[in-house]
Structure formats: C-alpha cells, structure tokens
Amino acid sequence: MIEELIRLLGKDAVLFKKEDLLAYECDAYTLEKALPRAVVFPRNTEETAAVVRLLNRRKIPFIPRGAGTGLSGGATPRGGEVIISLARMNRLLSVDLPNRRAVIQPGYINLHLTQAVADQGYYYAPDPSSQQACTIGGNVGENAGGAHCLKYGVTTNHVLGLKVVLPDGEVTELGGLPDTPGYDLVGLFVGSEGTMGIVTEITVRLMKQPEGVRTVLALFDRVEDASEAVSDIIAAGILPAALEMMDALAIEAVEKGTFPVGYPEGVEAVLLVDVDGVEAGLEEQIRRIVEVCRKHRVREVRPAASEEERARWWANRKTAFGAVGTLSPDYLVQDGVIPRSRLPEVLARIAEIGKEKGVRIANVFHAGDGNLHPLILFDSRVPGETERAVQAGSAILKVCVDAGGSITGEHGVGLEKREEMKYLWTEEELEVQHAVREVFNPEDLCNPGKMLPRPARCAEVKRHSKDSASQQK
Ligand SMILES: Cc1cc2nc3c(=O)[nH]c(=O)nc-3n(C[C@H](O)[C@H](O)[C@H](O)COP(=O)(O)OP(=O)(O)OC[C@H]3O[C@@H](n4cnc5c(N)ncnc54)[C@H](O)[C@@H]3O)c2cc1C
C-alpha cells in the first residue's frame, strides 16, 4: 500500500516510519492516542480522490486532517488508519469582491483569509481563538465558532459551497449557487467531523469591515454579577459583536501568560465586549452597556483608550487556553452550551463539581452565546486525577443538557464526547443519525468511530442503511 501511495503522490508526500507518525497520534485533545498506518499529503482534489479510491479498494479506513488543533479527537486515529493531511492544499484560489466570495483550498489557515482581503476593506468573520493555526477545512469539519460569532454566526453561516471527495473517491460539488433548491447538503456537511467525505475546495462569504469598532472592559467582584450583566446586555436589545468572560482562575492564568493586562487584585470576573457597526451609533451602545454593568455592581468599566489597548485586551483573552498551561501540567477543555439566562446557576454548579471531584476549574468563554469552556486542571502523573478530570467534564456536560443546552458549542464530539451524545439523543434518534451518515459513508471507512456512539441495534441499522444507500446512489 505504501508503494502504491508513493506512486500516486511521490516520496515526499507519504510518511510511514514510526518516528514520523508519532506527531499524528492525536490532535489537541491529548487524552486518547494511537498511531496511524501512514500520513499522506495530496496537493489537489485529483490526488485526494486517487488516494481515497485506493484506500477504498483496499478497505483501509482514513481520516481527513487539517492543522490538528481540534479539541475533541476528531483527527485522532484509533489505530491503523491512513491520515489524509490537507496541509499542502493551502492556496487561496480566487477572490470575488463584487460578489463577496472567496474560494480556498481546505488547508488554508483561517487568519490568512482576513489578512489577504483586509487592505480592500473586507474580512472573514468566523474567528476561532486558534485562527493563527487552524485551517478552514478543519473549521468546516467542526462548524467552528469564535468570539465574534455571537453577532455574525458560525462557520456554517459563511460557507456557500463545497467540493468534496466522497468516501468512494467520487468528486462532487455541493451548494455554490446564490440559492440552492432542494436539501441543504452544505449545511449537512458542515460540522460532520470528517465522517461524510473530504472537503477539497470551499467557497466562503466575505464581509465588509464595519465602519467602527469599540471595546469595553468590565471588572466584577462577583461572578454572579458578571453573568447577570451578560443576560441583561442582550435583553436590553444590544447585540455586541463579541461578549467574552473569564473567571478568577482564568484571570490568574492570563496574567501569567504572554499578554498580561494588569487586572487589579481580587477581580472575580472580566467581561470583554465588542460593539461594531456605523460609527454614529457606537457611543450610545457603549453608554448602555456601561449602564447595565453598573446596575450589576461592576467594580470598574471603561472603553479601550487606544487601538493598542484594545489589541492587548483581545490578545490576553485569545491566548487564555495556552496560558492555563502556566497553572497546571495538564488540562481538559470542555465545550458546553446553555441558554445564557442560566449562566449564574450553571457556573455555580461547575464550581461545585470541581470541589466534588477535587480538581480546579477555570472558565474562559463566549458568554454571549452561552458557550462555556470550563478548563479542568489536572496532573496526569497523580494516580486517579485524569479519571476525576474526565468525570468532572462529563458531569458538567450533563448539567448543560439539564439546563436546556448541549454538549458542544463549537469543538465537536469527536472521540471525546460520543458517550455524552446519549445525554441529548435517544437510541432511536442516534440510529437516524447513523443512517444519514451511511448514505455518504456506507462502509464507514471515512473517519470511523467518531461523533456517534454505536447504538445497541447498530448491526440492524447498518444492514438497513447499506441497502437504502445503494438504492439512493
Ligand atoms: C488554543 C485553541 C483555541 C481554540 N479556540 C477555538 C474557538 O474559539 N472556536 C472553535 O470553534 N474552536 C476552537 N478551537 C478548536 C479547533 O481549533 C477548531 O475545532 C478548528 O476548527 C480545527 O481546525 P483544524 O484545521 O485544526 O482541524 P483538525 O483538528 O485537523 O480537524 C478537525 C475535524 O475536521 C475534520 N476535517 C479536517 N479537515 C477536513 C476536510 N478537509 N474535510 C473534511 N473534514 C475535515 C477532521 O477529520 C476532524 O474531525 C481551539 C483550539 C485550540 C488548540
């Protein structure tokens, strides 16, 4: 097989020695690891399709991979798969400003797109905190979000069309028209975590830069006050571009990180709020945000005095996950969603879970969306601590579901949260999801074992959906 792969792609595009494969044994979710059989680097759709046809013929499972920054094990092998890295498919293919579109290859880095069109007054809205490293193909895989998705929506709201290599090697195009009649297959594909095929070209929406942006920083003595302010800002009819929150442990981390802000002692919660749009309305929005924060006993609240100050506040927030490494040798990032009005009680429950399980938990999150990121600190060298961290993560997701929320806001299910899918879906509902997947991926060769738990009646479902898949094809 390795010889055949080398014949298709050339020697410099195939890794198969153990020492080379080690770097691919997991993504940024590091609790589960296994070696792939090989890693290949196609350069275009044709090469990707040729590799997929070969692997399909030999019935060898394969995994699409972007930058490997995923936080739920979506690009992690279970052992023996071939990883199809899209890292060399990293070109901007075209920009069409009159129609506000760009076409890119999947390995193109998220931030590079905004940098490429910024001079002409445009940008690409979805901005995960990992945007300096993650690929737009990976963003499509996970339906990634980011700080500014509160106002502008997540990846699926910005993808207009896809070119896809299906798991049997057939190449197809989805969407791409101003409006596509029929089922929304682009919507189905975005967020499918690499389980329906490999995206090889993406048409995305470009946005015009807003006329003005202002950022407000609010410091609170109590987490409850900050979370109530979050709900009230939106209830007051203001839709900030971003509304982020950090609690005391997260503040301790960012202050030890690369971009300290110098937060005063004893602050229990920080809110970072962006408003953008037509210049004329911005000061009024800020005045109202300040008013709501004061109503909730804010200690200090003020807009950024300069562009440099604003950039520093954001750099401090965006590097928070990494900064948590200054507090603990290991940490687990969770990703639950709740209705934002339930923030105060859910944050209190998360703190209780930390105490019950004997682990510290920092919270850094997209508060406006109710998208929580509890960071569970542990030391894998201490016997039992990893298990307690995992249990705490699962318990937090249950609390989110019980509060009317979900087990993932943007990081996907991957390997990590397959069991927690059962908090949300019944066995029957999961069977339906399996059946949908198997229309595209009937032999389960494309990223097997990800996203969905195996339902008890799986064998029966599999047989049934294989029959219907071949009929549909
Ligand atoms: C410090 C840090 C901060 C983060 N902040 C955010 C955040 O704010 N918001 C957010 O949403 N996420 C965030 N993430 C998670 C991660 O960056 C995103 O999930 C991102 O979309 C993954 O992109 P990637 O290129 O690394 O994809 P990978 O991790 O390589 O892959 C992710 C998934 O997509 C699939 N996939 C990859 N490429 C393709 C393709 N071409 N076709 C089909 N499937 C494909 C993979 O199989 C896998 O299931 C953060 C991660 C880190 C480490």
List of residues 6+ apart from 54 with CB closer than 8 A = 1, 4, 5, 8
How far apart are alpha carbons 140 and 134 in whole angstroms?
11
For residue 362, what are its two tokens? 């920092």
Q: Domain 212-322: which topology?
A: Alpha-Beta Plaits (3.30.70)
The pLDDT, as a whole number, for residue 465 is 46
Lowest average pLDDT, out of 214-223, 380-389, 451-460, goes to 451-460
Kindly write down the DSSP assignment for every residue of 26-60, as one continuous string. --S--SS----SEEE---SHHHHHHHHHHHHHHT-
The pLDDT, as a whole number, for residue 426 is 95
pLDDT in tens, 434-454: 999 999 999 999 999 999 997
What residues are paired with 204 via a beta bridge?
Answer: 102, 159
Pick the CATH number of 92-208 from 3.40.50.2020, 3.30.460.80, 3.30.465.10, 3.40.50.10360: 3.30.465.10
Query: Which residues of the chain form CATH 3.30.1370?
Result: 328-362+370-402
Query: Which residues of the chain form CATH 3.30.43.10?
Result: 2-85
- Give yes or no for residue 71 CB within 6 A of ligand 1: yes
For residue 296, what are its two tokens? 């909730």
Q: Torsions phi, psi of 271, nearest 5? A: -115, 135
Query: Which residues of the chain form CATH 3.30.70.2190?
Result: 212-322
pLDDT in tens, 187-197: 999 999 999 99
- Evaluate if residue 332 carries a pLDDT over 90: yes
Write down the CATH number for the domain with range 2-85. Answer: 3.30.43.10
What residues are paired with 207 via a beta bridge?
Answer: 123
Ligand 1: which of 65, 127, 156, 171 to mutate, judged by most atoms within 8 Å of the beta carbon?
Answer: 65
How far apart are alpha carbons 8 and 3 in whole angstroms?
9
Strand order, beta sheet including 92-96: 92-96, 101-104, 198-205, 159-165, 171-175
- Give yes or no for residue 64 CB within 6 A of ligand 1: yes
- Give yes or no for residue 86 CB within 6 A of ligand 1: yes
How far apart are alpha carbons 286 and 292 in whole angstroms?
10
- Give yes or no for residue 56 CB within 6 A of ligand 1: no
How far apart are alpha carbons 258 and 272 in whole angstroms?
18
Q: Is 409:336 a contact under the CB 8 Å cutoff?
A: yes
Query: Which residues of the chain form CATH 3.30.465.10?
Result: 92-208
What is the average pLDDT value for the chain, to the nearest integer? Answer: 94
The residue with tokens 């060298």 is 381
Burial of 288 (0-12, 13-18, 19+ CB in 10 A): middle
Ligand 1: which of 44, 84, 130, 337 to mutate, judged by most atoms within 8 Å of the beta carbon?
Answer: 130
The pLDDT, as a whole number, for residue 177 is 85
- Evaluate if residue 169 carries a pLDDT over 50: yes
- Evaluate if residue 179 carries a pLDDT over 70: yes
The pLDDT, as a whole number, for residue 471 is 46
- Give yes or no for residue 317 CB within 6 A of ligand 1: no
pLDDT in tens, 214-264: 999 999 999 999 999 999 999 999 999 999 999 999 999 999 999 999 999
Write down the CATH number for the domain with range 328-362+370-402. Answer: 3.30.1370
The pLDDT, as a whole number, for residue 459 is 46
- Evaluate if residue 390 carries a pLDDT over 90: yes
Centre of ligand 1 from the C-alpha of residue 281, in Å: 35
Centre of ligand 1 from the C-alpha of residue 264, in Å: 34
How far apart are alpha carbons 423 and 444 in whole angstroms?
24
The pLDDT, as a whole number, for residue 461 is 46
List of residues 6+ apart from 312 with CB closer than 8 A = 259, 261
